[in-house]
């Protein structure tokens, strides 16, 4: 069911891009009673991509706002812990608690999902809420002040509000900012391995069973692996924190599995087995977008969301979550309007509401990758010791307090300046965030 409060003034809203941000905006806005059309340049929803993390700040929206828990539970992986393994001998260095602990702490679970599954579930929800989808419609020009845009076939469209959700290499962004995606000094290989291959060998079959999520950390390279697509695929992501000539933020450019395997030659046998199952992979350079001055035009008739507004590096697994938070927040701000002349101040307030959180998360995400790819040595030994101690700490606490005690623990004060999610205050800021409640609070503040 989810939340059902309706907007007092229903608007005509047109969304550019049927990625995670665009589909979520369609869903959130249509549920508030707005008339929404989504224009997507592809001829169908994209079938590319690997696994995505949906942390509690994101699952909160899917469950409590949009009422899609049942559908999601059919396809998501619900990991109990993420085990962190040493690259060379597969020994466990530490464990990061996921389910059910995060549910007790933050009220909502941590899921992992196949990107195409996330898109199709959001699209189904959006269509059920009344969104109309138009594929093969590439937007080529914008007038952000008038809320007008042109499609590649030359037709012009206007709307009360146009939402630019066309990703990191956004075309719509150019009408507000000259910022372009910048290459990060890190590249990735991504592969998905079919279940049948994983089951060929006991050591890899076990990775599909239970609800496991793993990372192997080695000098200059880290791997992430977990089952997705209702257990039919294994998501295998290799991150290499060095510059490369691979295309920036182009997720579907082919890579060479042999090159990937060569990078992992010092890894343990199970990783080598996984590599041997990979027939094709993607390779790309990570990219982000420098902060832009404004997500909205001065008329308030044009707004950027998701990666088009604020692509961040994926080390915290928050790219998809930020796009979902944008959608939920936008629906609150837009639906608080009782006359059209309130659009400019409300949209300005939307920008002011979202940007500080995004910039905190951008900073946290940058801090996170260094610790996963340390060279062997004293610093790495200290890191391993720390991760081991932190694991022992949460396990002891769990044993002492049990579920009831964990649920009753006082909430730490969320800290937007935390270095990452490893302090209780940083984790609370990241995962305990209720974007809808915060948006409603912000809407009650006086505005100029």
Ligand X SMILES: Cc1cc2nc3c(=O)[nH]c(=O)nc-3n(C[C@H](O)[C@H](O)[C@H](O)COP(=O)(O)OP(=O)(O)OC[C@H]3O[C@@H](n4cnc5c(N)ncnc54)[C@H](O)[C@@H]3O)c2cc1C
Query: Which residues lie near ligand X (CB under 6 A)?
Result: 16-22, 39-42, 46, 48-50, 115, 138-139, 165-167, 171, 190, 251-252, 306-308, 314, 319-320, 323
Judged by beta carbon, residue 255 or residue 426, the one nearer ligand X is 255
| Residue 410, number of CB atoms within 10 A of its CB | 5
Cβ closest to ligand X, residue 123 vs residue 264: 123
Token pair of 87, please? 């690259």
CB of 314 to ligand X, least distance (A): 4
Q: Which stretches within 231-290 are classed as H helix?
A: 257-263, 269-277
* CB closer to ligand X, 279 vs 338: 279
Cβ nearer to ligand X, comparing 136 with 402: 136
Of the CA atoms within 13 Å of residue 435, those in its CB half-sphere come to: 32
Nearest distance from C-beta of residue 272 to ligand X, angstroms: 23
- Minimum Å gap between C-beta 440 and ligand X is 24
Nearer residue to ligand X within complex by CB, 94 or 287: 287
Distance CA 249, CA 74 (A): 30
Length of the chain as a residue count: 448
Q: Whose CA is closest to 381, among 169, 151, 219, 205?
A: 219
Q: Closest separation between CB of residue 409 and ligand X, Å?
A: 32
| Distance in Å, CB of 8 to ligand X, minimum | 28
Tell the smallest beta-carbon distance from residue 147 to ligand X (Å).
16
Nearer to ligand X, 105 or 215 (CB): 215
Question: Per 3-state DSSP, what percentage of the chain is helix, strand, and coil (rounded to 5)?
Answer: 40, 25, 35
For ligand X, give the closer residue by CB, 251 or 394: 251
Alpha-carbon gap, residue 237 to 371, rounded angstroms? 17
Minimum CB separation of residue 257 from ligand X in Å reads: 16
Specify the residue, 140 or 298, whose C-beta has the smaller distance to ligand X.
140
Instruction: Find the residue with minimal CB distance to ligand X.
Output: 19
Residues 6+ apart with CB under 8 A from 11: 34, 35, 159, 160, 161, 334, 337
Smallest gap, in angstroms, from Cβ of residue 139 to ligand X? 4
List the structure tokens of 315.
């080390």
Taking the least distance from each CB to ligand X, the nearer of 22 and 94 is: 22
Spatial separation of the C-alpha atoms in residues 56 and 69, rounded to whole Å: 13
Handedness of CA 99, 102, 104, 108 (dihedral sign): negative
Q: Report yes or no: 295 and 304 within 8 Å, Cβ to Cβ.
A: yes
Round the CA-based radius of gyration of the chain to a whole number and report it: 22
Q: What's 315's DSSP letter? A: G
Taking the complex as a whole, how short is the minimal distance between the CB of residue 15 and ligand X, in angstroms?
9
For strands 51-54 and 81-86, give the pairing.
Answer: unpaired
Cis peptide before 100 (omega within 30 of 0): yes
């Amino acid at each position: 069911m989810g939340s059902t409060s309706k907007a007092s003034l229903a608007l005509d809203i047109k969304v550019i891009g049927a990625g995670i941000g665009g589909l979520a905006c369609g869903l959130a806005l249509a549920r508030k009673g707005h008339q929404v059309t989504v224009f997507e340049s592809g001829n169908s929803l994209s079938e590319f991509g690997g696994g995505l993390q949906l942390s509690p700040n994101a699952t909160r929206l899917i469950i409590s706002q949009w009422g899609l828990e049942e559908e999601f539970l059919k396809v998501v992986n619900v990991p109990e812990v993420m085990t962190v393994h040493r690259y060379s001998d597969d020994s466990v260095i530490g464990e990061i608690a996921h389910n059910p602990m995060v549910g007790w702490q933050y009220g909502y679970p941590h899921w992992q999902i196949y990107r195409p599954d996330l898109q199709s579930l959001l699209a189904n929800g959006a269509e059920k809420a009344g969104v109309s989808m138009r594929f093969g419609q590439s937007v080529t020009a914008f007038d952000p002040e008038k809320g007008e845009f042109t499609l590649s076939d030359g037709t012009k469209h206007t709307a009360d509000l146009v939402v630019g959700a066309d990703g990191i290499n956004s075309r719509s962004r150019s009408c507000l900012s000259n910022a372009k995606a910048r290459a990060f000094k890190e590249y990735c290989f991504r592969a998905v391995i079919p279940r049948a291959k994983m089951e060929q060998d006991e050591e890899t079959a076990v990775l599909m069973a239970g609800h496991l999520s793993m990372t192997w950390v080695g000098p200059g390279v880290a791997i992430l692996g977990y089952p997705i697509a209702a257990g039919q695929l294994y998501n295998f992501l290799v991150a290499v924190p060095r510059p490369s000539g691979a295309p920036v933020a182009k997720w579907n450019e082919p890579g060479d599995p042999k090159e990937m395997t060569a990078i992992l030659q010092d890894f343990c046998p199970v990783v080598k087995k996984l590599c041997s199952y990979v027939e094709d992979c993607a390779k790309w350079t990570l990219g982000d977008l420098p902060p832009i001055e404004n997500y909205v035009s001065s008329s308030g008739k044009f707004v950027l969301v998701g990666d088009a507004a604020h692509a961040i590096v994926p080390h915290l697994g928050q790219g998809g979550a930020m796009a979902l938070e944008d959608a939920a927040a936008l629906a609150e701000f837009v639906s608080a309007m009782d006359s059209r002349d309130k659009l400019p101040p409300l949209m300005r307030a939307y920008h002011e509401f979202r940007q500080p959180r995004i910039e905190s998360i951008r900073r946290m995400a940058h801090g996170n990758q260094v610790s996963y790819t340390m060279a062997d040595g004293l610093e790495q030994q200290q890191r391993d010791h720390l991760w081991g101690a932190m694991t022992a700490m949460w396990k002891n606490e769990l044993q002492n307090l049990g579920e009831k005690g964990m649920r009753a623990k006082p909430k730490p004060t969320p800290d937007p300046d935390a270095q990452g999610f490893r302090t209780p205050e940083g984790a609370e800021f990241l995962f305990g965030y209720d974007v809808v409640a915060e948006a409603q609070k912000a809407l009650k503040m006086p505005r100029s």
